[in-house]
Structure 1
């Protein structure tokens, strides 16, 4: 029997001569299954949401209205000569006497990263040697998401795999033509693979125990937690968004070293995927927290650490919308010392203007990378501009993810598996039950009364109506649904069913099906179906963050083909051998460079050939 609850009566004044009029009260229906009502959860819950990096402690900015210490960068006038070291020490002593908490001191940049109260900032600004006092500005990942320290080499790199590991992005950039000319799934003996070259990924940290990354990982440093364990986790052990792991896999994932993939997706290799430079060594500098946020000072410190560790290439899929002179000087310094820095151009969705450029990509000493889609067309999000150097694949890029943290759905009906998409924030669970049509799921009485029982069922819900997915799931859950299938109603969204439940909660397993499967699944209404969510080791991601490591990896291939090249020569080879792409709305430049594609799509085979035959 359906249960009702009456709203409380309103108190009214009563006349001695007349009874008050009865108040008409609308009944409000309670959930049929109160024990199943969806409840909000903290981050500590073991949800697949953690794979999406959607909940994390964010950086806290300090209001300028109080006198609390604020993270700042202080630049002094350039000092040279024999007294420079002594002057640097005196400067640090002066700021410490103002109560500053010094985080970093870079004498070669005449810069300190520190925390200062507004009062101390005002006093320091009067120092004639001070050039500028600027905020230690936030930086962010540019993607559209405690371990036991490992040795420098956990295993020998694998040279044998399958051509199924060659993603469309690997083939578009010609990487496989460099190290597998006969396309047999085996690295060619003596071919450039990135061997002898070290790429330093400055990002959110990685999963260093991922089977695709273990052989390449050569060490790291965590500038967020200030230790030598650059893992993408917060202090509670909860995983972040996997951004750095995804970037690293694009560069160095190994042949034949696959992790857990979705076994029901025929388009995926059971051995995972391979990076463009599987022979390169990987250094990792963690500067972004589990929410994808960081500080300029940590980027500078990481950049200098990469150079100290003799990295050839620094790959940065991060940025900020404002330039910073100390940061620019740091990139200029490492470029002059021979390291090549490559960074994402940004996902602003517009052609870059002086106001919309993203840094560090927009510095002259950095290679700026934009994105293209699988048809080598310009995606709307990828920022361009006169500083853009190259483009690379950046849409639906398949790469590594922290182990078990990438949810994928398993849907079985009528003895057949169907391809479907897991929604974020759902648990890794499986449930088998009768499929019940709950329509739009617009309220907690949307499912048929005789079939929707608290003993459990699988709810079939159609997309649409003025209601969020999360509310649809809450409504059918309160009627007893132990799993939910959401049917798409727009064919244009079939390629990327990026539906979200918004936040962590006690959700049941939820999966989404494309319009092409609607008739097949509806035919199973009344029959048992199985819905499951499992955790995989790979994910698809989009952004200029994903394009950047493709260029970093090709640079490693070029450098390994001819190790005597300088960073300036490697950059010139990449730019001069890029495939010219034409946007019909942008006039083609006589130099072959434009503001949408830069010099064009990076091409590994042509670039390596030029390096070997200058």
Structure 2
């Protein structure tokens, strides 16, 4: 458990610590070899001026202690102290977006459950428990930022709203209705002003939530470490082991693969990706061209409701001499001036609308930062921007806007799997995460992100817990994934590493007829020429009638074959243990991720089970999460930590000063490392490190070298 104290950051902030002055007060967390009670009594007896601000004995043995650096140094030398840790920053996962109300989702619910009597813990930025939609269901909590019983959102400088928004999605009961409007809401404020917290605060919040007997915990937090053994994942696994359902946001780093970060990489947690529900979306169309270009209206913009054809004028990044845009759509490249400034200048020159296309691969989301304009402003991907320049601007064409009704979609920003090292599928399931209307201090707002998707599942888990109080966290997860509906487009279902089992089916998850214990099948990484592996598939019949089961193998690829069991009957309320075999001749398959779905036919119903395997190399990052932290006691020694996706022969870390990129020397050299979490300590007394650096981590395996940059900051005294 010594690794439980790492960051749950949305944006992975790598910061160091300066050596405190002897009389400077600091808070440190110590991990103990024994239960904390005896240790705390000894500390209070020997150093009465020290303040024990938190103690932990559920997830790990330890305590958070505040006092002078000189006295804490003495505490750190006690025999009972196993380790002590610095503080890391945390932030909340969110992205701004347009309006959409969760009430539309609740109207589909056909069962009587409301979450009554179910305790849901929200570890976040706190909660505005005076909000008229939340005050009735707010039952308590704790503030691990200030260490008191008042988990109110930050209201003054650095005001926050994230936790209140999440709480409304789960259990609002007023003008807005959450997914479980009668659930008991507990707020654990672990993130303070600006949505930033520390390891002490987050660990204390998990500890408090578990000890308070939460049935469900929602964590809309994460980092960028795509591996299963990062310490935050261990913390989540421990809470689940103790009987708590833990729901985790997948992250907002999509649409690329291998972007799910810890603790969403936990095998046991319910990892939630974001989907966009069926909606009407604007597309651009040009006469004579079959292709249509989708545009994404920016946050704060009026709707894109153009009804006529218009010419398009390319104006670069907005830094060139401005021209008359009267009656035209202005096309910008992203970069340079802020979006709002570009839009305002275009409006002043007479533009009827503004398009801003990305300056790197893929789409992006943006907002107008409070600037209100009467013309619409939308974003395009880099590829779409190039298309508009070629087909419209250069050919003097006019564009028209057409509205297209889209079915459920995987949100572009939603993080994708699989997970390195164990090669499992994540996310597990999708929920609405685009244009979600919910509570904030003083009113309501629409946000989007997987932070908004996760509380939908947390609320649904509360409904399931009310209906089946005896169900374990594993059974609740099985019911959700077994009954989910695949999300598809014109090309077929989205891949498992984008949607997991699919979009949550609220009604069937409450009363499922069948449970598949495995939410997905991971056959691992294939490195041999001939690969054979069998995995269990355990199916449970929850009905009072026999159930005939037929498993249909996936569409065969060249070099791939499957072995599936024959049709079998499962008696009422019984379980059948089956096996699925995969045989691969790797010479016939391309490197990379291979994934799809097996169909499980039960009478007239069809269930799907996602599968994945990885052949040899793929496009994941071998190194992630590198951090360097000078020890809190002094700045002569530092701890380092990073994750390896696969074994490597050699690793070297070189430091370069930010800005000048002048070399600051080689920091670290290691050899023959296995996959997983790597950590250690090193002497930096002769390096005189202070300020911002770029750490270049180079790894070499079988003669192949890869480089990975990580910004780090080391504070001075």
Report the TM-score range of the alignment, normalised by the length of the smaller protein: 0.5 to 0.7
Task: Please show how residues 117-516 of structure 1 align to structure 2 within 5 Å.
Answer: 126-144=77-95, 170=105, 176-179=108-111, 191-236=112-157, 239-240=159-160, 242-254=161-173, 257-258=174-175, 274-321=177-224, 331=236, 334-349=239-254, 358-363=261-266, 366-374=269-277, 462-464=330-332, 468=337, 469-472=339-342, 487-489=353-355, 498-500=365-367, 512-513=376-377
- CA distance change for structure 1 residues 497 and 297 in 2, over 3 Å: closer, same or farther? closer
Which of 498, 511, 534 aligns to 1:609? It is 511
Note the residue ranges of structure 1 that are not aligned, 5 or more in a row: 1-57, 146-163, 180-190, 259-272, 377-395, 397-405, 412-417, 421-437, 449-457, 521-534
Distance in 2 (alpha carbons) for counterparts of 1:115 and 1:357:
35
CA contact (8 A) 1:77 1:130 kept: yes
Q: Does 1:113 align with 2:64?
A: yes
Deviation by residue 1:160-217 (Cα, 9 ceiling, x = unmatched): xxxx96666x27xxx82334xxxxxxxxxxx112122121211112333444434433
CA contact (8 A) 1:176 1:276 kept: no
Query: More helix by proportion, 1 or 2?
Result: 1
Query: More strand by proportion, 1 or 2?
Result: 2
CA contact (8 A) 1:73 1:112 kept: yes
Secondary structure of 1:232's aligned partner: coil
Higher-Rg member (1/2):
1
- CA distance change for structure 1 residues 358 and 409 in 2, over 3 Å: closer, same or farther? closer
- CA distance change for structure 1 residues 302 and 135 in 2, over 3 Å: closer, same or farther? same
What residue is the counterpart of 1:560 in the other structure? 466
Distance in 1 (alpha carbons) for counterparts of 2:241 and 2:481:
19
CA contact (8 A) 2:233 2:264 kept: no
Distance in 2 (alpha carbons) for counterparts of 1:111 and 1:585:
52
- CA distance change for structure 1 residues 167 and 459 in 2, over 3 Å: closer, same or farther? farther
Deviation by residue 1:267-323 (Cα, 9 ceiling, x = unmatched): xxxxxx543222322222221224222222222222233344432111110134569
Shift of 1:64: 2.9
CA contact (8 A) 1:251 1:552 kept: yes
- CA distance change for structure 1 residues 598 and 235 in 2, over 3 Å: closer, same or farther? same
Which of 72, 75, 85 aligns to 2:37? It is 85
Shift of 1:549: 0.9
Deviation by residue 1:358-411 (Cα, 9 ceiling, x = unmatched): 3333345533323344379xxxxxxxxxxxxxxxxxxx9xxxxxxxxx996679
Distance in 2 (alpha carbons) for counterparts of 1:357 and 1:497:
18
Deviation by residue 1:409-446 (Cα, 9 ceiling, x = unmatched): 679xxxxxx869xxxxxxxxxxxxxxxxx996968996
Aligned residues: 413
The normalised TM-score by structure 2 is 0.46
Shift of 1:75: 0.8
CA contact (8 A) 1:497 1:512 kept: no
- CA distance change for structure 1 residues 490 and 461 in 2, over 3 Å: closer, same or farther? closer
- CA distance change for structure 1 residues 118 and 62 in 2, over 3 Å: closer, same or farther? farther
Secondary structure of 2:512's aligned partner: helix
Distance in 2 (alpha carbons) for counterparts of 1:118 and 1:326:
26
Distance in 1 (alpha carbons) for counterparts of 2:443 and 2:350:
24
Shift of 1:62: 5.9
CA contact (8 A) 2:328 2:353 kept: yes
CA contact (8 A) 2:134 2:172 kept: yes
Distance in 2 (alpha carbons) for counterparts of 1:300 and 1:335:
15
CA contact (8 A) 1:461 1:484 kept: no
Deviation by residue 1:26-68 (Cα, 9 ceiling, x = unmatched): xxxxxxxxxxxxxxxxxxxxxxxxxxxxxxxx99966335546
Distance in 2 (alpha carbons) for counterparts of 1:326 and 1:93:
32
The normalised TM-score by structure 1 is 0.53
Distance in 1 (alpha carbons) for counterparts of 2:493 and 2:376:
42
Distance in 1 (alpha carbons) for counterparts of 2:39 and 2:447:
48
CA contact (8 A) 1:249 1:274 kept: yes
Secondary structure of 1:315's aligned partner: strand
Distance in 1 (alpha carbons) for counterparts of 2:130 and 2:71:
45
What residue is the counterpart of 1:382 in the other structure? none
Distance in 1 (alpha carbons) for counterparts of 2:481 and 2:314:
54
Distance in 1 (alpha carbons) for counterparts of 2:276 and 2:343:
33
Distance in 1 (alpha carbons) for counterparts of 2:493 and 2:400:
47
Shift of 1:332: 5.2
